[in-house]
Each structure stands twice: as structure tokens, then as C-alpha cells.
């Protein structure tokens, strides 16, 4: 029996927006475009989740809104405040509490937690090009899918996963790659 964990980092947010709190930062135009594109790709890959857990930060809410547009159906998460700027260890604790009836969980949140969780779950082998790409950078709106050889979410542990997919917006549209400065 295996479980599947998908991790999505929120799309690019607007640092120029005059918000009082980081929590309230919205997406910028580039982030909206990237989120829709990832949503379209998820649909074309026949990706389906039976449970979604997400940070309630504005940029995550807006990311899911735009993913849903590309995906063609509403993605309705359980909002979990503890995901906001959480460490890998906290994210793992949240997953350990998940109901075992869920076989494929999508978690949507922030870096560095998302990136660190991938790196903690997937063993470091010299032949893993996907893990190496995550190690180099886990850009905004990027999606990682990990297979876990567990029967219960309570058994999730460091080194217990295999990274099957790592998809960045720039993999789908080179214009969404790193900005030149």
C-alpha cells in the first residue's frame, strides 16, 4: 500500500502591494498566469487529490483560485493555519494527523518548508535528477509529487519517499522562468 503526497508552493506574490502583514500579500500577474498554467497541466496529467490542506495566507488562497481555473474544477481545501511559514517538521506533524482514508493529499504552502519537506522525505542519491532540481530551487507555483511506501499517514518519515514528479511553471512556459536582473 502506498500513499501519495503532492506539495504545491504558492504562486509568485506581489511585494509592491501595500499590505500591513506578509500574510495578506496577494499574487502578482505572473503568479496568476503560472498558477493557471499549473492547473491546466494537473488536469492534463489526470491528477486527482482526495484531500487538500492549505495555508490560509492570501497568496495561497489566490493560488488555489487560479489553479482551479486551469484545472477546470474547484479545489476546496481544509485551511490549516499551522502551514503558514511552517518548517518541514511541522508539515510532517500535520500530515501524520491526516485520516488514512485519504490516499493522495495535496498540501499547499510556503518555502522554505515545502522545499525542505521534499528534501527530508526523498533520500539523497546521486542519480536523482528531480531531487537535485528541488535542491537547486523550488520556485513559486512549483509542484512535487512523492510516493510513500506507508499504509498510515502517521508513519510518514524522513527518507521514506520517492519523488515522481517535479514540475515548475518554466517547464511549461519558458517565459515563466527566472527573471533577468
Q: What is the mean pLDDT of each run of 10 residues along the chain (181 residues)?
A: 95 79 92 97 97 98 98 96 97 98 98 97 88 95 97 96 96 82 33
**Cell numbers at 121, concatenated:** 522525505
Q: What is the pLDDT of residue 181?
A: 33
Which residues have CB under 8 Å from 159's CB, separation 6+?
120, 121, 122, 123
Q: What is the pLDDT of residue 179?
A: 62
Mean pLDDT (the chain) is 94
Give the three-class secondary structure for 114: helix
CA distance 161 to 122: 5
CA distance 12 to 68: 16
pTM for the full model? 0.94
CA distance 166 to 132: 10
Is residue 153 within 8 Å of residue 3, measured between CB atoms? yes
Is residue 22 within 8 Å of residue 55, measured between CB atoms? no
Give the pLDDT confidence of 77-96 residue by residue, as tens digits: 999 999 999 999 999 999 99
Structural domains of the chain ordered from first start: 3-12+25-176 (3.40.50.1240)
Helix H or strand E segment including 108:
strand 104-109
CA triple 22-23-28, angle to 5 deg: 75
Amino acid at each position: 500500500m502506498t500513499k501519495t503526497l503532492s506539495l504545491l508552493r504558492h504562486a509568485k506574490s506581489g511585494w509592491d502591494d501595500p499590505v500591513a502583514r506578509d500574510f495578506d500579500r496577494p499574487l502578482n500577474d505572473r503568479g496568476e498566469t503560472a498558477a493557471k498554467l499549473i492547473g491546466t497541466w494537473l488536469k492534463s496529467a489526470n491528477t486527482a487529490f482526495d484531500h487538500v490542506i492549505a495555508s490560509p495566507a492570501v497568496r495561497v488562497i489566490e493560488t488555489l483560485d487560479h489553479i482551479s481555473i486551469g484545472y477546470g474544477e474547484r479545489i476546496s481545501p481544509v485551511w490549516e493555519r499551522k502551514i503558514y511559514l511552517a518548517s518541514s517538521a511541522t508539515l510532517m506533524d500535520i500530515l501524520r494527523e491526516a485520516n488514512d482514508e485519504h490516499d493522495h493529499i495535496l498540501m499547499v504552502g510556503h518555502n522554505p518548508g515545502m522545499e525542505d519537506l521534499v528534501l527530508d522525505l526523498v533520500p539523497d542519491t546521486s542519480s536523482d535528477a528531480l531531487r537535485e532540481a528541488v535542491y537547486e530551487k523550488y520556485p513559486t507555483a512549483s509542484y512535487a509529487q512523492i510516493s510513500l511506501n506507508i499504509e498510515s499517514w502517521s508513519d510518514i518519515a524522513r527518507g521514506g519517499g520517492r519523488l515522481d514528479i517535479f514540475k515548475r511553471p518554466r517547464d511549461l512556459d519558458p517565459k515563466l522562468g527566472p527573471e533577468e536582473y
